[in-house]
Structure 1
Amino acid sequence: MATTTAPTTQSLSHAVRWQAMAEANTIQAMLDYRDKEMARTALIESSLRRKIERSAIALTIGEATGLSEAQVQLRLSIADRVRDKTPKVWDAFVDGLIDFSRVRDISAAIDKLRREESVARLDNRVLAYAADHTGAELRQWLRRFVQRVEADLAVERAEAERAERHVTVTHSDDSMAWLNAYLPSHLAAVIEARLRKEARKPADPDDDRTVAQREADLLVAWCTSSDATTSAVDANIAVTVAADVLAGAAFGFAESTDGAWAAPASWIADVVATGSTFWHRIVVDPVKDDVLSHEYLGRFAPDTLDLALQFLHGVCQAPGCMVPAERCDLDHRIPHPIGPTTGDNMGPLCRRHHNLKGHGLLHWSTSPPRPPSKPLIIELYPPAPDIAMEYVPA
C-alpha cells in the first residue's frame, strides 16, 4: 500500500510553533547573557571600565547571532517590556503560541498605553485574538484597543501628530522625485478614494497609460490647477462611530469600515461641510457594536438619494418650470451645511433657477409632500349581487 510523506496541516502548525519557540529561546538567551553581564560588571570598581564593558554587551550578542547592535538592543527592549508588563503574553511566546512579530506589535501597543489597568486589560484579552489571526489583523485590533481603552489620551496624541503634518519633496535620479505628505488619515483616505475612482474611469482608446500613471498625472493636475474645485472628484467614504462618542459623552474615534485607519470623531465633523466628499456615518452601539443608524453627511447626495428625488419630483421645482428632474441640479432648501443632505431638504432645480436662487432672486417655497392633517377615508359600496346593473347612456 502506497504511503505519502507529504506534510499535513497539523505538521505545518507544529513546525510554526517550534519556530516560535526557537525565537523565544534565542531572545531568552540574549536576556540571560545581558543580565549575567550586567551583574558581573556591577562589581567593577572603575566606572569608566564598567561603562565600556557594558556598552559592548549588545556588540558581543550581535557577533554571536549575526545581528547588528541596533537589532539586538531593539529585541532586548521589546522583551523587557513584554516580560515585565504582560506576563501572559510572554508565557505564550515562550510556549510558541505566538511568534516574535506578534510580540513586537503587542510591545508597540504597550508603549502607547499610559495606565496600568489598560496594560493589564491588554494582557488578559490579546492572546485570544493574536493566536488565530494574521499579523495585519492583530495590528488593526491593537490600534482599535488603544483608541478605545484610552480614548482621551489617543485623541491627544492624534491632535499633537496633526500639528506635525507636512509635505516633503526629495529629488532622485533620472529626473524623478518623491512627493511625500504626512496627513491626517481621513484626509488621505479622501485623496486616495478620489484618485482611485477617477483613474479607473473608461479611458480614451488612444490613452495607453496604466492606472498608476493616470493616478500620478491626476495628482499633478489637481496640485497645479489654478482652480482646484474643477478637478475635484466625488468620493464615498464610510466611517463607524459609537453612539456615546457621537453624543459627546465619551472620547472616541470614527473608524474606516475596512479598519485601515481611524480619526477623532470631531475631525470628521470639521470636514463634512468643506468638500465634495460624501461621508457615510454608521452609528454603532458602544457595547454590542450593533448598527443603530446610517446617516448621510456632506454636500452632495449619494446616487440612490439623487435618483429617488428625480422620481419623486419629476421636474424642476421652480414655479411653472417643466425641465425634467434628471437634467436638474439637486438643491438644498435650507442651504448646506446648515441644512442636511436629506430627501426632505432637497429637490431638483434647473441650472437657471438654481443660479437665480443662489443670487437671492428665487425664493423657493415649494414644500415637500406632507400627509393630510386628517386621514382620508374612502369607502366602497359594491352593488348587491342580486341586482343587475345596466348602463344607461346620458
Structure 2
Amino acid sequence: MSSRAIAARERADARLAVLLPELVRVRREVARLAAAEVELLAEAQLVAADWAAEEDPDATSAAEFPFRSVAAEIGAAWRVSDRTVQRRLGEASVLVGEYDQTLGALAAGEISAAHARIIVTAGAVIDRPELRAEFEGSVLAYAKAESASRLAPIARRRAEWFAESTIDDRHRRARAGRRVWVSDLDDAMSEVRAIVPSVIAHGIHDRLTRLARRVQDARDGGDADAVDVTDTARAADATAAADAGEPLLGGWGQDGPDVAGADTRSLDEVRADIFADLLLAADPVAHTGSSGLGAIHATVQITVPVLSLIGDDVADPFELAMLEGRCPIDAQTARVLTADAPGWDRVLTHPISGAVLGVDRYRPSEELRRHLRVRDRHCRFPGCRIPARRCDTDHTLDHAAGGETTAQNLAHLCRRHHTLKHHTAWTVRQHGGGVLEWTSPTGRRYTDTPTSTIAFAPDPECELQPEPAPF
C-alpha cells in the first residue's frame, strides 16, 4: 500500500472517529423518540377503550367504532392509513402493558424499535403474563448485544420455551391459512405472494437461488458452451412464443432483453425469471442452456433433537426442531425431512451452557468443518447473517503467520467481511468457545457470540464457561 493510500485511510479513520459518537447518539435519540411514540399510542388506545366501554353492550359491533375513529384521526394527522395506525395502536398497548423492560431499553437507546417489535411478535404465542416476563428477561440481554435480524430466530425459539400451546398444534391451525395472491404494482408489474410452511418457503428460495447462480456462472464464463446454448435456447423459445402469439417465459414480456445480446440480469432478476418459468412450465425451459438445472433441488438444514425423532409424545419446548437460523418447525415435518436425509450430524453440546463441544457422524468425515458450520451458523462479523454454507472458513490468525487450523482459530466469514478483514484496519481475535472480538479502525470493540451457544442453551441465566471443542 502506498504512503498516500495509508495517509488517506488514516484521515478517513480520524474523521469517522469524530462522526461515530454522533451517529450513535442520534440512533439512541431515535430509539428514545420511538419509545415516546409508543407510549402516546398506548394512551390513545386507552382513550378508545374508555369510549368503547360506554357503548351499548347489546350493540356488539359498536364497540369497534371508537378504535376505528381514534385510528382514523391519528392516520389523518400522520398522513398514513388508519388501518396501519390501528395495528400500531394494538402493538403499542401490548408493549407498554406487558413488556416494560423492553420499553425501558428502547427509551434508553439500548435497542431499536425493530428489536422491540421482534420481542413482542415472538411473545405473542405466550398466554400468561408471568411467563411473558420470563421470556422477556431471557432475550433482552441478547437483544442489547445483537442486531434485530439475529435476534429474531433466537426470540422465536425462546418463546416456545414458555408457550403453553405446542408448535405442532399451532402449525396445524396455521396451515389452514396457506394461500397465494397477487398484488398489483405500478408500471405494469405485480407481486405474487404465498403463505406456505417455512420449510417449503425457504426450500423454494434456496432452489431458485441455486438455479440462478448456475445460470450466472454459465453466463459469466464458467462454461462458454453453456452460454452459447443458453442464447440459442432463448432464441428458440422466443421464436416459438412469437409464432404462438404468447409472451416470453421468464417474466421478460415483449420488451425483455434482446435474445441475441448479452445477458446482464442481476441475481434477483434471474431468480425472478426462473420462478416464473417453474410456475409456467414443469422445468425452467427458458434457461435450459445452463446444464444441470433440472437436477438442482432445494436444500434446507434443520436441527432436530434426537428425542423428537422417537415419536409423537415429546412436547418439551427445549426439544424443538429448528429450521437453520430461522424459526421452529413442527415435529412431523422434521421427521419427514430426516427420514430421507443423506446424512446426519450428531451435535454434542454442553449440558448447561449449550456451547457446541463437537460434531461427528457415524462415518466421520470433515468433522472440523461440520463443527464450525454448526457452531457459527452464519458469518461471524457483527450483525451479518449470510449462512455459513455461503461463507469462507477463515483463519483468525493467518495460517502464513503461524495460525493453526483448529476450531479455536477458525470462523466463517462471508466474502464481503473476509476481504474487509484482510484489506482494512479491522482486526479480530478469538476468545474461548468461539467468541470473537472485533476491533474497528477507530478503536471500538464489538463482541460476537456464536448463535449456537444461545440456541442450544437450556438455561439462559447460566454463566458457566463453555469448554473447548475437541479439535
Q: How would you bin the TM-score normalised by the shorter chain? A: 0.5 to 0.7
CA distance in 1, matches of 2:213, 2:16: 48
Match status 1:217 vs 2:277: yes
CA distance in 2, matches of 1:80, 1:170: 30
The Cα shift of 1:130 comes to 1.5
2:116 aligned to 99, 103, 123, which one?
103
Deviations 1:237-272 (A, max 9, x none): 432223443455444432233x03442233132244
- 1:370-389 correspondence runs (5 A): none
The Cα shift of 1:86 comes to 2.0
Q: Aligned letter for 1:159?
A: R
More helix by share: 2
CA distance in 1, matches of 2:129, 2:22: 39
CA distance in 2, matches of 1:50, 1:237: 46
Match status 1:17 vs 2:84: no
CA distance in 2, matches of 1:302, 1:218: 38
SS in 2 for 1:8: helix
CA distance in 1, matches of 2:112, 2:205: 33
Match status 1:115 vs 2:178: no
2:103 aligned to 90, 97, 103, which one?
90
Residue matched to 1:8: 19
SS in 2 for 1:255: strand
Residue matched to 1:74: 87
2:305 aligned to 242, 251, 256, which one?
242
CA distance in 2, matches of 1:41, 1:157: 31
Match status 1:160 vs 2:173: yes
Residue matched to 1:27: 38
The number of residue pairs the alignment matches comes to 292
The Cα shift of 1:122 comes to 1.6
Residues 217 and 99 of structure 1: is their aligned pair in 2 closer, same or farther, counting only changes over 3 Å? same
Check the 8 A contact 1:89/1:127 in 2, yes or no: yes
CA distance in 1, matches of 2:70, 2:184: 40
Deviations 1:64-107 (A, max 9, x none): 44444323322221121122222211222333333333222222
Match status 1:260 vs 2:282: no
SS in 2 for 1:260: coil
Provide the aligned C-alpha RMSD in A: 4.6
- Could you tell me which runs of 5 or more consecutive residues in structure 1 were left unpaired when the two chains were aligned: 305-394
Check the 8 A contact 2:49/2:66 in 1, yes or no: no
- 1:239-388 correspondence runs (5 A): 239-247=302-310, 249-251=314-316, 252-257=319-324, 259-273=325-339, 278=342, 280-283=344-347, 285=349, 287=352, 288-290=354-356, 293-294=359-360
Residue matched to 1:233: 296
CA distance in 1, matches of 2:121, 2:310: 31
The Cα shift of 1:24 comes to 1.9
CA distance in 2, matches of 1:61, 1:106: 25
Structure of higher CA gyration radius:
1
| Identity in percent | 26
CA distance in 2, matches of 1:51, 1:256: 39
The Cα shift of 1:119 comes to 0.6
Deviations 1:49-74 (A, max 9, x none): 99977753333333444444323322
Deviations 1:117-145 (A, max 9, x none): 43121221222111232221122222222
Residues 38 and 14 of structure 1: is their aligned pair in 2 closer, same or farther, counting only changes over 3 Å? same
Residues 279 and 233 of structure 1: is their aligned pair in 2 closer, same or farther, counting only changes over 3 Å? farther
Residues 182 and 35 of structure 1: is their aligned pair in 2 closer, same or farther, counting only changes over 3 Å? closer
CA distance in 2, matches of 1:245, 1:91: 38
Check the 8 A contact 1:171/1:177 in 2, yes or no: yes
Residues 70 and 245 of structure 1: is their aligned pair in 2 closer, same or farther, counting only changes over 3 Å? same
CA distance in 1, matches of 2:149, 2:120: 15
Residue matched to 1:60: 73
Q: Structure 2 length normalisation: TM-score? A: 0.50
After TM superposition, the structure 1 stretch with the greater mean CA deviation from structure 2, 235-244 or 139-148, is 235-244
Larger relative contact order (CA 8 Å, sep ≥ 6): 2
Q: Aligned letter for 2:356?
A: D
4+ residue runs over 6 A deviation: 3-6, 40-45, 47-54, 169-178, 301-304
Check the 8 A contact 1:239/1:281 in 2, yes or no: no
CA distance in 2, matches of 1:73, 1:43: 20
Residue matched to 2:10: none
- 1:164-179 correspondence runs (5 A): 164-167=177-180
CA distance in 1, matches of 2:365, 2:208: 19
Q: Aligned letter for 1:10?
A: P
- Could you tell me which runs of 5 or more consecutive residues in structure 2 were left unpaired when the two chains were aligned: 1-13, 219-225, 232-262, 286-292, 367-471
SS in 2 for 1:124: helix
SS in 2 for 1:56: helix
Q: Structure 1 length normalisation: TM-score? A: 0.58
